[in-house]
């Protein structure tokens, strides 16, 4: 973890004064100056590359990352990076932390490759009491939202912690608020963090234990970019790439027949079927599933065949009703304490998964080909038009 933080309020005031002076200076043309006889030319080393992951903080949050002031956030972030890397199967890039005087004093923002993916304003001298859905009273404090999941919350004094917990609230400190927000963004966008360098490192590590499997794979069987796309497809649907040996075996077998990354992804998912189902439903033999009405499936298949998967467009009324029915079925499953799993024909799986990805994130979409033989299917809902 890299840290570029100004130390103390004195440094901040100096920088503020400097910024004000610069604003005044740019209001009028600068005075003519003599050009040095030997001025160094601009080189590539003068251009700073964008950070894959960045955390920018307002000046009042600096103590959170300053160990000399008791800050623990850096330690928390290191732990998050380690856990996510182990869970997903590839090394997440370091998090670059720096102060940003353009932010409000108690604000922060999380960036990926220079683009802001999350931001919030917090209260470092308070704790966040989050409403998990059922509480038994109201709290005195500053109302807000949990930045990671959007849950209603209240910023309370630390002395109110036990009272808030007794009322059913989940109470966390500011380190946890930021760390949880960062963790969610990294997991949601893990596929964007997997570059070709990371893919090559995965292959190099695999070659140490299974050299014949990797030998001749790139570029004879599939280019590195093709392997990257398959791995990104898996990560985008929350499938870890830890079992890289099984994944590469599936890629090698399918790529010979069809080098299309989408077709390879489908075959790879079948090879990982036990892992995928266990990830969404545990080790239980009973698998509760939601299905689509055959008439609706036929309409969807005809639409995909006519327009292609990338450009499939449903009639607005049909899309709205299908989405509504799927959402209601998923909510009923969540209320019953069971996993929400929609099982469809293989030709529909990718399109439907993308259709509901952001609006019904808790609904897992599998194809019938991905159900292991040792699972007992139990249909809990059938969704029609």
* pLDDT at position 46: 86
* 149: its two tokens: 């999941």
Neighbours of 25 (CB within 10 A): 11
Task: Calculate the alpha carbon distances from 26 to 13, 18, 19, 22, 291 in Å.
Answer: 20, 12, 11, 6, 65
Q: Which domains does the chain have, with CATH numbers?
A: 122-177 (3.40.30.60), 194-271 (1.10.8.540), 280-383 (3.40.50.12790)
pTM comes to 0.84
* pLDDT at position 72: 94
What is the full DSSP assignment across 172-232?
Answer: E-HHHHHHHHHHHHHHHTHHHH--HHHHHHHHHHHHHH-HHHHTTIIIIIS-HHHHHHHHH
Burial class (CB in 10 A: 0-12, 13-18, 19+), 20: exposed
User: Taking the chain (385 residues) in consecutive chunks of 10 residues, what is each chunk's mean pLDDT?
Assistant: 41 45 46 58 88 97 93 96 98 97 97 98 97 93 96 97 97 97 97 98 97 93 96 96 98 94 96 96 94 94 77 78 94 93 95 92 94 95 89
Angle (CA) 42-21-12 rounded to 5° is: 90
């Amino acid at each position: 973890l890299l840290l570029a933080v100004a130390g103390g309020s004195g440094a901040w005031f100096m920088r503020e004064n400097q910024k004000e002076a610069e604003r005044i200076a740019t209001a009028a043309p600068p005075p003519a100056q003599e050009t040095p006889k030997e001025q160094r030319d601009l080189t590539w080393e003068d251009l700073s590359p964008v950070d894959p992951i960045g955390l920018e903080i307002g000046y009042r949050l600096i103590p959170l990352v300053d160990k000399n002031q008791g800050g623990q956030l850096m330690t928390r972030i290191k732990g998050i990076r380690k856990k996510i890397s182990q869970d997903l199967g590839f090394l997440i890039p370091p998090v670059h932390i720096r102060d940003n005087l353009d932010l409000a004093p108690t604000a922060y923002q999380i960036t990926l490759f220079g683009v802001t993916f999350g931001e919030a304003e917090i209260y470092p001298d308070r704790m966040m009491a989050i409403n998990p859905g059922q509480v038994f009273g109201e709290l005195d404090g500053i109302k807000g939202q949990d930045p990671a999941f959007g849950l209603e919350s209240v910023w309370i004094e630390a002395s109110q912690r036990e009272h808030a917990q007794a009322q059913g609230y989940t109470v966390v400190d500011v380190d946890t608020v930021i760390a949880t927000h960062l963790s969610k963004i990294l997991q949601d966008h893990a596929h964007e963090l997997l570059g070709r360098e990371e893919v090559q490192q995965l292959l190099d590590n695999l070659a140490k234990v299974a050299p014949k499997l990797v030998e001749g794979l790139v570029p004879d069987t599939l280019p590195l970019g093709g392997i990257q796309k398959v791995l990104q497809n898996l990560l985008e649907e929350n499938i870890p790439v830890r079992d890289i040996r099984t994944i590469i075996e599936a890629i090698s077998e399918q790529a010979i027949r069809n080098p299309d990354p989408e077709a390879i992804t489908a075959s790879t998912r079948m090879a990982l079927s036990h892992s995928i189902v266990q990830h969404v439903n545990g080790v239980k033999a009973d698998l509760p599933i939601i299905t689509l009405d055959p008439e609706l499936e036929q309409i969807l298949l005809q639409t995909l065949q006519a327009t292609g998967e990338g450009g499939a467009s449903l009639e607005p009324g049909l899309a709205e009703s299908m989405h509504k029915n799927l959402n209601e079925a998923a909510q009923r499953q969540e209320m019953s304490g069971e996993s929400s799993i929609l099982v469809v024909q293989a030709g529909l799986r990718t399109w439907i998964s993308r259709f509901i990805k952001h609006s019904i994130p808790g609904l897992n979409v599998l194809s019938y080909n991905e159900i292991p033989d040792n699972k007992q299917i139990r249909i809990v809902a059938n969704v029609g038009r």
